[in-house]
Structure 1
């Protein structure tokens, strides 16, 4: 029974991370930490990394701490919260940096309609170069109004 609870904690954390991502993206990245996120909305320059990449470290810290303290002194629920955050981070990296922004050319020719829809919805977000008037701040669960964009 405890294994099922841990699996549910991991899944619930993963799902909740989309809300955390949306809120953080809208109110922190497009708010008081815009100076770290701004270069991500500008035309690309010849650098491998952006200041925006600092957010990967910021989000990794709670996951690492929860994984660590979830192992001490015995395996506990904190480990599985950290695991859910970690799994979300992996998905975020694959969707955002690999699929959408093509920082790695792994999924360049996908035919999956859901993934193509995520890419198109993110392009709608990036049509705004400034921090105001942004839309579609989530990553994995796209609002219904963007489903029309998917049909092609």
Structure 2
């Protein structure tokens, strides 16, 4: 039973992180921390690193805190929460930084309907270079219209 609960909390946390990514992207990154996210939209830098990468560090600290709570404070649920956040971070990095933005030249030939849909949704997000008037702030779950159009392409 404990293992099933661990898996359930892990999956619930991973799923909840999609909402957190959307929320923090829309209201924090395009809000009061726009100064950290702006270079990601404008590409006004020469470095491989972006100020936007600070958000990975913030979520990594949250993840490590929960894992440490599981290890040192004997709060067993810290493990599935921490690893759920970490797994979502790995998925986000793979989809956003590797697949969409090609920070590493991998997955370039992925051309199925899901890949086309998330790529199109992210392209629509980046067409807005300012912090206002943005659209499509999610990462793994985006509006169906982008998948519908991807099937036609």
Same fold by TM-score greater than 0.5: yes
Q: 2:124, 2:136 within 8 Å by CA — same for their partners in 1?
A: yes
After TM superposition, list the pairs within 5 Å mapping 1:3-42 onto structure 2. 3-42=3-42
Matched, 1:136 2:136: yes
- TM-score (norm. length: structure 1): 0.95
Which consecutive residues of structure 1, in runs of 5 or more, have no partner in the other structure?
none
Distance (whole Å) between structure 1 residues aligned to residue 74 and residue 51 of structure 2 = 37
Shift of 1:78: 1.1
Shift of 1:73: 4.6
Q: 2:116, 2:147 within 8 Å by CA — same for their partners in 1?
A: no
Shift of 1:120: 1.1
Distance (whole Å) between structure 1 residues aligned to residue 48 and residue 83 of structure 2 = 28
Distance (whole Å) between structure 2 residues aligned to residue 51 and residue 148 of structure 1 = 34
Which consecutive residues of structure 2, in runs of 5 or more, have no partner in the other structure?
none
SS at match of 1:90: helix
Distance (whole Å) between structure 1 residues aligned to residue 130 and residue 92 of structure 2 = 22
Distance (whole Å) between structure 1 residues aligned to residue 96 and residue 80 of structure 2 = 24
After TM superposition, list the pairs within 5 Å mapping 1:3-152 onto structure 2. 3-43=3-43, 45-74=45-74, 76-151=76-151, 152=153
When the two chains are superposed, the root-mean-square deviation of aligned CA atoms in Å is 1.3
Shift of 1:141: 0.5
- Cα shift readout 1:126-146 (whole Å, capped 9, x = no counterpart): 000000000000000111232
Distance (whole Å) between structure 2 residues aligned to residue 95 and residue 102 of structure 1 = 9
